[in-house]
């Protein structure tokens, strides 16, 4: 009788031990997978810096192959002789990744919201020739579709290239050149064309 009880206790202990080992193994695998998955990225758009515009973006994975990005820039600077490229701009975007977040091809649906106060600039584009002797102040709101690709260049370092096009509505006033310029005209335009472009370096957590 004592041997039977002892045998039953041994089996119970072995079963309990097996369950504990399996539970611990499950927990290790679960927390390893959560820790290994990159869910937050911080980035900056390199070409935006070429316009002397500090900028930053944050992207968060929230469901399967979906992420949400919020990026933007702010330029408050004047360059003398009535030259300025003042603006702020933000791009909220929802992205779908074909393989996994922060790696490979993705498609995005984005908005664009901005205010600008630019003028006195001699740019090599016919469509922007009026900026040489005029100052434009106003806002733009729009929406667009984008495509991009992200390369993993380090353990947590990424290189991202993206571009998008869509629709925007511009409301603006036109002034003579300079901060104290007088109002010449005003305009309202519907715009179809590029709405986003970036070559970004990102770090993911």
pLDDT tens track, the chain, 205 positions: 434 434 454 454 455 445 444 544 444 444 344 344 679 999 999 999 998 999 999 999 998 899 999 999 999 998 887 889 899 999 999 999 999 999 999 999 999 999 999 988 877 776 677 778 888 999 999 999 999 999 999 889 999 999 999 999 999 999 988 777 889 999 999 999 999 999 999 999 8
For tokens 């970004």, the residue is: 200
User: Do 51 and 85 meet the contact criterion of CB atoms below 8 Å apart?
Assistant: yes
Q: Determine how many CB atoms are found less than 10 A away from the CB of residue 90.
A: 16
Point out which residues pair with 187 in neighbouring strands: 172
C-alpha angle with apex 11: 5 to 13, nearest 5 degrees? 100
Taking the domain 39-204, which CATH number applies? 2.40.160.20
pTM, two decimals, is 0.78
- Sketch the domain layout of the chain as residue ranges: 1-36, 39-204
List Cα–Cα distances, 25 to 14, 15, 37, 124, 143, in angstroms: 16, 15, 18, 63, 47
């Amino acid at each position: 009788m004592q041997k039977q009880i002892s045998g039953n206790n041994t089996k119970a202990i072995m079963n309990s031990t097996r369950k504990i080992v399996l539970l611990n193994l499950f927990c290790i695998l679960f927390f390893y997978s959560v820790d290994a998955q990159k869910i937050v990225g911080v980035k900056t758009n390199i070409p935006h810096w070429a316009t002397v515009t500090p900028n930053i973006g944050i992207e968060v994975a929230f469901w399967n192959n979906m992420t949400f990005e919020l990026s933007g820039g702010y330029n408050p600077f004047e360059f003398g002789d009535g030259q300025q490229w003042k603006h702020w701009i933000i791009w909220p975007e929802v992205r779908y990744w074909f393989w996994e977040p922060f790696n490979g091809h993705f498609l995005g649906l984005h908005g664009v919201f901005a205010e600008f106060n630019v003028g006195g600039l001699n740019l090599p584009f016919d469509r922007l020739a009026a900026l040489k002797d005029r100052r434009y102040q106003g806002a733009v709101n729009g929406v667009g579709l984008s495509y991009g690709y992200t390369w993993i260049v380090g353990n947590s370092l990424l290189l991202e290239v993206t571009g998008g096009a869509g629709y925007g509505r511009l409301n603006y006033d036109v002034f003579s050149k300079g901060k104290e310029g007088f109002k010449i005209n005003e305009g309202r335009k519907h715009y179809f064309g590029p709405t986003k472009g970036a070559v970004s370096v990102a770090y993911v957590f």
